[in-house]
Amino acid sequence: MKILVTGFEPFNGGTVNPSEQIVYRLAAPEGVTLIKEILPVEFGKTTVRLKELFREHQPDIVLSIGQAGGRAEISVERVAINIDNVKSSNGSKLLPDNAGAVPVDEPIEAEGAAAYFATLPIWQIVEAIQGKGIPAGISNSAGTYVCNHVMYENLYQAAVEYPQMKAGFIHVPFLPEQIAHREDKERLAAMPLEDMVTALQAVLEVLAK
Ligand code: PCA
């Protein structure tokens, strides 16, 4: 079985991205070939890169991981929506991607469905992480930034080209060092890298079955 696992480079002025650190540390479960990739935080480039990876490796499963700073638990995403949008909900702020792109309410794929559900066993994944004593839950929105874009592309490409490929997305909290010097730190959650790696390794074991 081939599993493609992806993380992201840092973004929004950060110097680390926990998803990248996790990917480096994951080990292939028995019987699994693990392909690792760190994606750019760029809407357009991720689409191109993912298509290359699917063509080259024909993975059975693609599990993408990203940072959702401020969330308190490992969140297993249920759904990806067909929208790229960098405008905050009160409309006052734009978060350009790492190439400076600022899409507002643009469809990701003109021919794509409005949304796709994750095709990985989301509850089994949540329970496996909780079983390690690590907080986890289902999230019903991956946002509208590059993480949602990647989850959407994974599922769209599976729908149109690779029907055997299952896909899903997991968001992880900040690392402690990412909030240590922030003024608003008492309102932000963080999780040690070791726990995140334990959680994602448990996810791989579920997927390998
Ligand atoms: N998190 C961003 C994109 C890259 C990442 O790690 C997001 O949640 O969209």
Give pLDDT tens digits for 183-199.
Answer: 998 889 999 999 999 99
Decide whether any atom of ligand 1 lies within 6 Å of the 19 Cβ: yes
Ligand 1 nearest-atom number relative to CA 148: 9
Q: How confident is the model at residue 53 (pLDDT cuts 50, 70, 90)?
A: very high
Helix 193-208, helix 18-25: angle, nearest 10 = 60
Report the pLDDT averaged over residues 145-169: 98
* 37 among known catalytic residues: no
* 57 among known catalytic residues: no
Pairing relation of β-strands 166-172 and 61-67? parallel
pTM, full prediction: 0.97
Q: Give the pLDDT of residue 89.
A: 82
Atom 9 of ligand 1, residue of closest alpha carbon: 147
Atom 2 of ligand 1, residue of closest alpha carbon: 147
| Cα–Cα distance, 133 to 56 (Å, whole number) | 37
Ligand 1 nearest-atom number relative to CA 17: 6
The DSSP annotation for 139-197 comes to: ES---SSHHHHHHHHHHHHHHHT-TT-EEEEEEE-B-HHHHTT-TTGGG--B--HHHHH
Q: How confident is the model at residue 92 (pLDDT cuts 50, 70, 90)?
A: confident
The 8-class DSSP code of residue 28 comes to P
Helix (H) or strand (E) holding 116: strand 115-117
| Cα–Cα distance, 111 to 120 (Å, whole number) | 23
Q: Give the pLDDT of residue 90.
A: 83
Cα 160 to middle of ligand 1, angstroms:
24
